[in-house]
Structures are given as C-alpha cells and as structure tokens.
Structure 1
C-alpha cells in the first residue's frame, strides 16, 4: 500500500474513533473530592481508599476497604446533591425534606450510582462514583410546583428600572431576520458572584422574566438543564450549547439573597424574549450564563485535577 493511501486511512481512523469532548462548563468543587460540571451535568466523587499505599498494587487492596471507600464516596455524592440550589428560595435538601418518598428515591439512585476503580483509568488507591444532574435524578429533584412552560413570566418584587407596569408581551420587540438568525443566548454575569441553580430566572430591568422555567418544558430542563454555566467565553467551546451565532447580553446585577437570578437591560430583555420565541432555543435550553472561575483553594485545586481526564470510559 502506498504512503499516500496509508496516511489518510490512519487520519480517518483517529478522527472517527476519538471520543467527543463533553462541554463541562463551570466545574464546581466540593472540598477535595467532589465536583459538579454545570455544563454536562456530571457529578463525581473521587475517594481515596483507606490504608492504600502509593507502592501497593490495586490487586492487594482488601474488598472491605474498597467497599468502605465506595460507601463514603456515595454519601458525599448525596450531600452534594442535597446542597444544590433549585432556585433563590430552596435547596434540593429543603425540597426533599417535605417528601419522604421522593427523598428515598433520590437516596436509592445515589446508592446505585456508577462506580469505578481502582483500576486502569483511575489514580492508584482511589474509587470514583458518578451520577448525572440530568434525566432521572433531575426529574426527582425538580419540584412539581414549578410552573414550567406556563408562558407567565415571574415579576421582580422590586423593579430595577423604568416601565415596570408594561407587560413584556406588550413591549416592542425586535423581529425579522436579525432576530431569527440567533442560535442561542449567552448572558455574561462575570463579576457578580452568581450562585448556580437548577432553575434560575433571567429578568429584565422592566421587572419581568425574560427567560426561565415559564418558557421551557420540564422534560427539556431535566434532559439538558435550564441553563449551562461556563467560565470560558471561547465561542468554539460554547457553540456546543448555543450554536455558532448566539445573542450575547451583559448582566447588570444578581438578584435574590442567594444571587441565583440575573437582571439584564430592558432592551436586552425584549430581544431575549423575541429570540426565544422565534426558534428552538427554549426547546434546546440553549442558554449559557458566564460566571467567574472558582477560586483555587488547595482543596478545590485537588478536586479539579481529579476531575480532569477522569471521565467515564
């Protein structure tokens, strides 16, 4: 076989067998062993096995010590899920405290979470458990009281601009090819110390919601996440979520005691409402909120290093 034929074959093989890189977005660390990727929805805990030495082979580890590490890791995973904020009013833990059946289902799901290690793909003497903040888990922890796809925008208790008496549907909206061409929405909320949440709302200064649960279906939110949080504003990275021509707007402030919601200019809010109405943005939850990169404490830096390159095989 000639060299000119052989090289393209090798390149094609590498191209089609290379695993796709998931859009992790903001990777929030919980201590030294837990992470939540707010782009992909991946939850992971990497726990060291008690008594494991750096020079000890994985085969020499006792099944009891491995089992103990897995139990501890899954307990940590459950604690992480319970601490996640649903919105500016409650955490997952607070919501589940009022429904023992749902709480038991969540615990059962975590107790059967994916387990891996010790082995080829993990650091020596560690185990890894993981779950998805999507799908079945999301269906359980998203309250049925949230009025998904109601079409009724929530209103700020305290308006931050003029025109708060004008309903957003009556406000002038930009329409036409310019609006219809957008493939997603990016809200730059860097510098506002935002808290990630499952169901945040983007408000306009007119006092009404511009994007949130009232525009999207529950199933779509459970499958994709209402928004993706990211720290990287590289268009090639964000394109996986918002496409190649997203609308970019600047957040003016964070709203609520937990700073889960954002406020944008009234003119930007009108444009966001129009963009969401004209395409598949709401169905695909094609919205990214840019936030500050987490501060790198020694513990969080360790968790981030464990998360990198330790995706499921």
Structure 2
C-alpha cells in the first residue's frame, strides 16, 4: 500500500470513529488553549470554533437560504482557525506543524485534502442570527503519518534471546507493560513526538525505539494530569513502570530528562523493548484546561 493510499484509509477510519465533542473540564486531561480552539493532548484531538454574525437584519426572520449561508461562513472560519492551530502545533522542541508543512508542499496538499472531510461536531444558532460551529480534527492516524519525524520508522519489537533467569525461592517478577513518566513541576510542555533522555542526552525513548505503526495509531505518548489517570490509561496497561522527570533540555521542553538510575531500571526490564516500541508511554504533566464550555 502506498503512503498516500494509507493516509486516506487511516483518515476515513478515524472520521468514522470520531466521537462527539468532548468539552474539557478541570481535571479531565492535558489541553493547550489557542484563540478560537484548543488541542486536547490526552485524546489526540484538535477542536476549533467559528462564528458568523450577519449584518444588521432588523426584525426580519432569517430565511433557510440565509441560514445555510451563515453556517457555511462559520464553517470556513472554524476550518481557518483549525489550520492556524495545526500550524502552531508543537511536533518536537521548536519544530511546529507549520515548519513541516511549509517545507513540504506534498504534505501541505494532503492536509488540505483532509480538511474537506473535517466533521462539524457542534452547531448553534444564536438569538441575534449569528451561527457558531465547532469542528474536530484527529492528530492520530493520517495526520501523524504525514507529520511525524521521518526518523520514526516501521520496526519490529526486539525479542530477548533468552528467557529471564529464574532464581530458586524467588517469585518471578511480572514484566512491566508500560512506562509512566511523572513530569510535573519541571515546566515541560506537550508535543507530538517527545523524547525521554538522560542528563547526558542519551535517548531512552524516542524515534530510534518507536515503531511508526504504533506511533501513528496510538500517538508517541499519551498525556495525563494525574498518576491515577495515567495508571488507568489504555497504553500503560496493567503493570506500568513509573519514573520521575527531573528536568527538560533548554531548547526542547517537550523532552523529559530522567536520572541514570531510572534509565537503568527501564533497560533492565526484559519487556522494555516491546512496550516502548509499541508507544505504551504516558507522560503526566501540570496542565490547565480551557474554560469549561457547554455543548451546543
């Protein structure tokens, strides 16, 4: 299957599975607010709003044709706001969606085609004749296939050559099934392709370890606000290993620095190559939700 065909297959699947709008409230997830929209990093979705206010109409009722015209204008504005957010989206460090799309006209053209299928997830007619609409756009799937760094390639998880050695009288430890990085209090920020590194810059989790298939389907990481939500997350599964972030690189606040001891704990686990390559990683951040909204 060609890369372009895979893109549109994934897009179609995601649009069919796209849920109704999830209005963020305090404590629900990691969100990043923008003018007229926000990124829900916990659910891997971008939301954008658009509004069209007609010129003075007096007391004349709005005709069906005018109402449809107002809706179309509001949708165009919402998609324009969505485009702006995607261009400001942080991929890694200082690299944004706009940087990637601006340097590759083919990627830009395919993202523009995706916009044609962007669903309207909310519509509201106000008493003054104005129309407000909301649209949503999934970051996982087709968009990630296009926008993720090329270093993230399709790889098979490395299997250990020998089973873990059993010690007499010692209960064998259950292998870890995921990684939770507690990065609260270190001023880290969310991104589409973060890394976990040591102080010396040695990569513990990043493009050389990740399988692109899982990165596209699941996201490189999942972001949550609390350890409880992280432990309950799908990607962490039943027995996650928890480590603590101790800082971020000066020029890459999307990356999380962990201690050499925690890096050794990750690598000493026989299953780490599997759960890391499958992107079973949750990062817990400090995060403020956008103002609470009510569904239209």
Scaled to the shorter chain, the TM-score interval is 0.7 to 0.9
1:283 Cα offset (Å): 4.3
Q: Does 1:305 align with 2:255?
A: no
Gaps of 5+ in 2: 1-18, 157-163, 167-171
Structure with higher helix content? 1
Partner secondary structure for residue 181 of structure 2? strand
Counterparts of 1:28-39 in structure 2 under 5 Å? Answer: 28-31=32-35, 33-39=36-42
Counterparts of 1:34-53 in structure 2 under 5 Å? Answer: 34-51=37-54
Q: Does 1:113 align with 2:118?
A: yes
How many correspondences in the alignment?
255
Change (3 A) 1:189 1:67: same
Distance 2:33 2:88 in 1: 12
CA contact (8 A) 1:235 1:244 kept: no
Change (3 A) 1:194 1:232: same
Q: Does 1:68 align with 2:73?
A: yes
Q: How large is the RMSD of aligned CA atoms in angstroms?
A: 3.5
Distance 1:35 1:58 in 2: 33
CA contact (8 A) 1:231 1:293 kept: yes
1:233-273 Cα offsets, whole Å, 9 max, x none, are 22476332312321111111111424111110101011223
Distance 1:235 1:83 in 2: 27
Aligned residue in 2 for 1:8:
none
Match of 2:136 among 130, 133, 143: 130
Aligned residue in 2 for 1:220:
214
Gaps of 5+ in 1: 1-18, 152-173
Partner secondary structure for residue 65 of structure 1? helix
Q: Which has the higher contact order (CA 8 A, sep 6+)?
A: 2
CA contact (8 A) 1:49 1:65 kept: yes
Q: Which moved more, 1:224-233 or 1:67-76?
A: 224-233
What's the TM-score once normalised by structure 2's chain length? 0.74
1:89-144 Cα offsets, whole Å, 9 max, x none, are 41111122111121111122124311244269xxx942111110011111111232
